[in-house]
Amino acid sequence: MRTLALLGGTAAFLALFFAAVLLAAGCATADEPDAPAADNEAARNMAALQRIYGAFSTGDTAAIDSVIAPDAVDHQALPGAQGTTNEQLKQFVGMFRAAFPDLRVTVDHQFAAADHVVAVITLRGTHQGDFMGIAPTGRTIEVSGIDVVRFENGMAVEHWGVTNDLEMMQQLGVVPMPEAPPGGAPADTARAGA
């Protein structure tokens, strides 16, 4: 079984912090002469990323080749995946859609700075088919993720991403949910008042 990438509270905070730093460092202001061009490029790149998420929501992978460069690098590639990034993504969309036919990707927040787009997403779907060796459970998942995508000339050329795989495995019943500490409050809640 595939080794799961786990995203804890500290890692999520750091990912969002560095995304904010990236955005602050690359944002054009209205006083800069290139601001309108940067705004157009940012809007185009955000729309391209939306088309990629659309492939997950509809299963239509035709847009992938039009928005992802053939030599793109995916730093979140599946272990043992074969072929180009585009071929891997199409296979992954097909595998995910077979397991979760009602899958929807919602973009909760999206920001663009220079040639990078950062998106905070939620994946929702019902487990109705085999998923990486896990038989259908009929359970619904709601999993968060963060993507950072670098674009060149309107094409995605590099991707970094984090998805809360532990959360998904817990929702599918494959990994047990943590037990509440004595007193019934979850560990994070108990620390919040300290």
Q: What is the pLDDT of residues 12-40, one digit of tens each?
A: 333 433 443 333 334 433 344 445 566 89
* Residues recorded for the chain: 194
Q: Is residue 1 part of a domain?
A: no
Q: Which CATH number belongs to the domain containing residue 94 in this structure?
A: 3.10.450.50
29, amino acid identity: T
Q: Is residue 186 part of a domain?
A: no
Q: Which two tokens stand for residue 36?
A: 């309108």
Q: Are 141 and 125 in contact (CB under 8 A)?
A: yes
Domain count, the chain: 1
Report pTM.
Answer: 0.73
Q: Is residue 181 part of a domain?
A: no
Q: Is residue 180 part of a domain?
A: no
* Sheet with strand 155-163: strands edge to edge: 68-74, 155-163, 140-152, 116-126, 104-113
Q: Is residue 157 part of a domain?
A: yes
pLDDT band at 157 (very low <50, low <70, confident <90, very high): very high
Domain range spanning residue 82?
A: 9-175
Q: What is the pLDDT of residues 44-67, one digit of tens each?
A: 999 999 999 999 999 999 889 999
Q: Is residue 75 part of a domain?
A: yes
Considering only the C-alpha atoms of the chain, give the largest distance between any 2 of them, rounded to a whole number of Å.
60
For the packed helices 35-58 and 85-99, what is the interaxial angle rounded to 10 degrees? 50
Q: What is the pLDDT of residues 86-119, one digit of tens each?
A: 888 899 899 999 999 999 999 999 999 989 999 9
Q: What is the pLDDT of residues 75-87, one digit of tens each?
A: 987 766 777 888 8
